[in-house]
Copies of this chain bind each other. A is one copy, B any other.
Amino acid sequence: MTYETKKGAKSDTARFFWRGRLWLEGPEGTFLGYGRVVLLERIRDSGSISAAARSMEMSYKHAWDLLDSMNRQAGCKLVETCRGGKAGGGARLTPAGMKAVALFKHYHARFKELLAELDNGLNLLGWDKGSE
């Protein structure tokens, strides 16, 4: 999953295209969103919160706050950590964390599908290809 914060490559014949955001929300606000799930994946792959945050050009504190929010809302830890030792410490996804990533990606894929589908119909309605 690449970490797209801006639009990707697009046909330059079309002036406009659909974009969107999808997230899972709970009583405390956002539970899982795109950036949060990328963070989880990076932690899974690097074994470190700080490395994951660095790779996303995100401050450690911000990453930690997001994880804290996710762990609290999930009711169980999605990421478990340890401090000290040879490598200084580390972090890894719990089974619940893995599940969260899979769940979001599954639903997000359907969302991306819809965006692509909407884009396909768009040029039929004028306003595209300078038809106005």
Contact = CB atoms under 8 A, between A and B. Distances in A.
A contact face: mostly helix, strand, loop, or mixed: mixed
Contacts of A114: 110-111, 114
Contacts of A31: 16
Interface string A76-89: 10000000000000
A132 interface: yes
Interface of A: 7, 15-27, 31, 74-76, 96, 99-100, 103, 107, 110-111, 114, 118, 125-127, 130, 132
Given A16-B24, A20-B22, A110-B114, 9 more contacts: A7-B25, A15-B27, A16-B25, A16-B31, A17-B26, A20-B111, A75-B132, A107-B118, A111-B118
